[in-house]
Amino acid sequence: MPDAVSLIHVKRDNTRPLTDEEIHWLFAAYARGEVADEQMAALLMAIYFNGLDGPELRAWTGEMIASGERLDLAGLARPAVDKHSTGGVGDKVSLVLAPLVASCGAAVPMLSGRGLGHTGGTLDKLEAIPGWRASLSNSELGTALSTVGAVIAAAGSGLAPADGRLYALRDVTGTVESIPLIASSIMSKKIAEGVTALVLDVKTGAGAFMARREDALQLARTMVTLGEEHGVRTRALITRMDAPLGRAVGNALEVEEALAALSGDGPADLMEVTYALAGHMLELAGLDGDPAAAIASGRALDTFKQMIKAQGGDPEASLPQAAHRQGALQAPSDGWVTRLDARAVGVAAWRLGAGRARKEDSVSYTAGVRCLAKPGDHVRAGDPVVELYVDDPARFGPAIAALSEALTIASEPPPVAPLIVDQVGD
């Protein structure tokens, strides 16, 4: 019979891989309270330094999935496919993508999260819509998928509950930044959703969690492997996150921009990523849809409105507006914007109130940043490059301070770089 201290020694000293049986015992004993939080935290730290090999990670993820329920989507008339993003600044792709892919014939059960730090959360954005609710029962989720074809909701506590406990420990012990633990955390919930296909949007660059491209690639490969090992057709795109995606950063501001995108007036960079992900989702689902035609015809926007109604929201209601706005980050000279640092813009939005420092913090739905110019745009000396939105004007100062080194102006325009930089998976 294994014991916690022995398993900690094995991973601490990196003497051998943990066996499937040992990992099974560990999760069962942790659930029974026989393994203490401090012992699990010590093991997570050992994993942070020494990793998990392929068989260990497969077993670890399998136990996280088995710790809770698994959604049964087999009764749906449509093929079920989902997308997950590792998070970025201005990344409102999910708001456009879920109804878009559903309007092309798929079922999209998108279980999403909330923002933390400089990255925004899909649920926070949608909660800016009056009446909309994130929490749905499994029955409500199934009904929405059957009737509308798309749902964006909070993952229920019954899906991979072990992940919630482990993430809370990682959050307070400095072990969040572990590729195998990140991969297992994401994929355990996505696999438990019951989809047959999954497309991952792994961000890289200044505003991404994985700033280095090689780290983003390693995370993508790890997640694709886990998905395939657990019977989910999985593909990952590595996408650039050096500048904010689109021009709006903040909850209601991003919903407004997503509605513009669904109406055929979306920013080019947002649509580039959205159409790329939609194409891969439809391919993996075995569907021959045309995302551009779905937007041009109004089908995607209509599906969005149905999705909002199905979750108690009023898609025709006015979005909340900030009480104060102010131009900021004046261009020091005439020229071309070659850099607008995504992380700095994300931190500014967070300081305005759009994000949270801790999971239990509340957010402002009206606060945020609008990018008046982005890389590739020409500006005149003195032009504001961003506009800040806030209810409490005392927050302007800290937000402006976050932007002090965010901008680069040059005499020549920057080279055009594709946002899709790599692909992992067939």
Neighbour tally for 373: CB within 10 Å: 21
Other C-beta atoms within 10 Å of 174: how many?
A: 12
Nearest Cα neighbor of 388 from 334, 338, 347, 337 is 347
Which of 83, 84, 125, 203 is flagged as catalytic?
84
Of the candidates 266, 261, 258, 257, the residue with the CA atom closest to the CA atom of residue 370: 257
Q: Which whole-number Å values give the CA distances from 80 to 184, 275, 283, in the listed order?
A: 21, 18, 12
Contacts of 125 (CB under 8 A, 6+ apart): 92, 95, 251, 252, 254, 255, 258
Measured CA to CA, the distance from residue 134 to residue 125 in angstroms comes to: 11
377 is catalytic: no
Q: Is 221 a catalytic residue?
A: no
Q: Is 91 left (phi over 0), alpha (psi -120 to 50) or beta?
A: beta
Give the CA dihedral 26, 27, 30, 35, nearest 10 degrees.
10
- Please count the CA atoms within 13 angstroms of the CA of 404 that sit on its side-chain side: 4
- Asked about 290 being catalytic, the answer comes back as no
- Of the candidates 124, 163, 242, 341, the residue annotated as catalytic is 163
Please report the DSSP string for 227-255 in residue order: HHHTT-EEEEEEEE-SS-SSSEESHHHHH
Is residue 288 annotated as a catalytic residue, yes or no?
Answer: no
The single residue of 67, 103, 178, 185 carrying the catalytic annotation is 185
Options 114, 118, 170, 240, the catalytic residue: 170
Residue 137 annotated as catalytic: no
Catalytic residue among 118, 189, 190, 299: 189
Q: Which residues contact residue 321 at a Cβ distance below 8 angstroms, ignoring those fewer than 6 apart?
A: 252, 366
Return the closest-CA partner of residue 372 out of 305, 404, 415, 326: 326
Question: 66 forms bridges with which residues in the sheet?
Answer: none
- Residues marked active site are found at 84, 163, 170, 185, 189
